[in-house]
Amino acid sequence: MAGLVVFLVATGLAAFVPVTAAETERRPTVVSPAARGAGSPTKPASEKAAEPQPVITLNKGRLTVQVQSRPLGWVLDEISRESRLAIVRAPGVGDQRISVQLKDAPPDEALRVILTAYDAFFYYGVEKNASASLRVVWVYPRGGGRGFAPVPPWEWGSTKELLREARTNPDPAGRAQAVEMLVERSGEQSADVARDFLVDPDDAVRTRALYSALNAGVRIPADSLAQMALSDPSPHVRFLALDALANNPRGWTEIDVGAVVAQALNDPSPHMRAKAEEIFRRLGAGTQPSGQPDPAQHQPQRQ
């Protein structure tokens, strides 16, 4: 879709980085189920209540993990939620209990420590103009990573957390990023989610949701695109919606694309008016509704 690059940035790909056996200096304490039940008396209820509460927090990009005898799966799920990081666990990973004491560590370094006894692959991706950052971690039992093949995006472990983030985060930038990642991961399967955020009160959220949906091939009804092209408060959303309609003018049976384009000739945004004129020139009279002005003679006021 020509012209869409004006409003979005490209994403990139870095490398898969396996955890090596050499990273053992800060190995977490692992408590096996057998060890918990053998040779140690049951603690009184008062002692159990006194056990420290688990702490898993992310502050300024640094991860603190302080847990005692918690299932690995629970620890990884909490890290995934805090850091907005997808952690994919293979069958057989997650039941073993671990104790970890890490403070203010980069998330990838913390995960390497926690996953010392497992095969793991780290995926670093580029977003916007920032440097590559950790996006996904796949975890397998020791030896299970041979012949590694990533699972499809819609099966990534933190998709539910991302959806919750998109729906509850009061920060528009956080919602926009979560929606963008959800659509990127799930493609056409994210249609309902993407459409929900096309009515978000924030212009940037609607813009990124629409671009992501169109770029992923999510079908948006023509009447919805027409309404956005003519009445959305954001000129970016209007531009994207009009461009989407014009890319398939005869494929829509619900609306008259020519009529929508003709109305866009009077849009308050000079970019929209220029786009409408370009569409008329490109498509010719075949999309011009009767009674509408000839774009060759139509000279909208420039700002």
Pick the more confident residue, 10 or 29. 29
Q: pLDDT-based confidence at 175, cuts 50/70/90?
A: confident
Q: pLDDT-based confidence at 165, cuts 50/70/90?
A: confident
Of the listed ranges 5-14, 144-153, 157-166, 222-231, the one predicted with least confidence: 5-14
- Name which of 140, 59, 138, 51 is nearest 92 in CA terms: 140
Q: Tens digits of per-residue pLDDT, 213-245?
A: 898 888 888 889 999 999 999 999 999 999 998
* Cα–Cα distance for residue pair 54/64, rounded to 1 Å: 10
Does some domain include residue 235? yes
Q: Are residues 15 and 136 in the same domain?
A: yes
Pick the more confident residue, 152 or 88. 88
pLDDT for 83 = 83
The sheet with strand 119-126 has its strands ordered as 12-18, 119-126, 133-140, 86-89
Provide mean pLDDT across the span 181-189: 75
Q: Are residues 166 and 100 in the same domain?
A: no
Q: Are residues 126 and 167 in the same domain?
A: no
pLDDT for 288 = 43
Q: pLDDT-based confidence at 123, cuts 50/70/90?
A: confident
Q: Tens digits of per-residue pLDDT, 26-37?
A: 444 444 333 444
Q: pLDDT-based confidence at 105, cuts 50/70/90?
A: very high
Q: Are residues 84 and 199 in the same domain?
A: no
Does some domain include residue 249? yes
Does some domain include residue 75? yes
What residues contact 16, with CB distance under 8 A and at least 6 apart? 121, 122, 123, 148
Q: Are residues 251 and 171 in the same domain?
A: yes
- Report residue 168 as tokens: 């509850």
Does some domain include residue 60? yes
Provide mean pLDDT across the span 2-18: 32
Look up the CATH number of the domain holding residue 212: 1.25.10.10
Does some domain include residue 28? yes
- Report residue 240 as tokens: 């994207």
Report the number of distinct structural domains present in the chain: 2
* Cα–Cα distance for residue pair 45/255, rounded to 1 Å: 69
Does some domain include residue 296? no
Q: Are residues 108 and 184 in the same domain?
A: no
- Report whether 261 contacts 246 (CB < 8 A): yes
Of 107, 127, 151, the residue that ends a domain is 151
- Can you say whether the dihedral through the CA atoms of 270, 276, 279, 283 is positive or negative? negative
Q: Are residues 258 and 199 in the same domain?
A: yes
Model confidence at 202: pLDDT above 90? yes
- Report whether 156 contacts 136 (CB < 8 A): yes
pLDDT for 287 = 43
Q: Are residues 134 and 8 in the same domain?
A: yes
Pick the more confident residue, 94 or 18. 94
Q: Are residues 133 and 16 in the same domain?
A: yes
Q: Are residues 29 and 132 in the same domain?
A: yes
Of 118, 151, 184, the residue that ends a domain is 151
Could you tell me the CA-to-CA distances from 223 to 29, 79, 149, 214, 227 in Å, in that order?
58, 42, 41, 15, 6
Query: Which amino acid, 42?
Result: T
pLDDT for 282 = 81
Does some domain include residue 297? no
Q: Which contacts of 265-274 are long-range, i.e. CB under 8 A and separated by 24 or more positions?
A: 265/293, 265/295, 265/298, 265/300, 266/300, 267/235, 267/238, 268/235, 268/303, 269/235, 269/238, 269/239, 270/302, 270/303, 271/235, 271/239, 272/235, 272/238, 272/239, 272/242, 273/300, 273/302
Residue 207 lies in domain = 162-287
Of 130, 151, 172, the residue that ends a domain is 151
pLDDT for 68 = 92
Which segments within 130-226 are labelled E, that is strand?
Answer: 133-140
Q: Are residues 167 and 88 in the same domain?
A: no
pLDDT for 246 = 85
Q: Are residues 180 and 59 in the same domain?
A: no
